[in-house]
Amino acid sequence: MRAFLALLLALTPATTFAQAGEEDAAHRADRRQTQDLNLNVRRSVEQRQAADTAKLDRYRQAREAYQRQRAEWRRRVAACEGGDTRACDPY
């Protein structure tokens, strides 16, 4: 009986180490999958930020063009009211 217990105790650490190796492989696979998911999310966020930046640039350019048109319109109104009849003609 003692020999059996000694053999059982001798085999137990080997089994534990084998299970730990399997858990390590599963853990590594899980960690790799998490890293891949995080990389995909990071790429998605970067693409969205680039699109947002381009959208904001287009908005800024359109806003600046609008402001220039309004300034020109105000100048023409002031000139028309000041007596310059050429400024009164529509574009």
Residue 8 lies in a domain: no
pTM over 0.75? The answer is no
Residue 12, pLDDT above cutoff 90: no
Distances from the Cα of 18 to the Cα of 6, 7, 11, angstroms: 19, 17, 11
pLDDT given at position 19: 58
State pLDDT tens for residues 28-83. Answer: 999 999 999 999 999 999 999 999 999 999 999 999 999 999 999 999 999 999 99
CA distance 21 to 9: 19
Residue 67 lies in a domain: yes
Average pLDDT over residues 79-88: 91
DSSP summary character for residue 86? G
Domain, as residue range, for 42: 23-88
Structural domain tally of the chain?
1
Residue 24, pLDDT above cutoff 70: yes
Residue 15 lies in a domain: no
Residue 4 lies in a domain: no
CA distance 14 to 4: 16
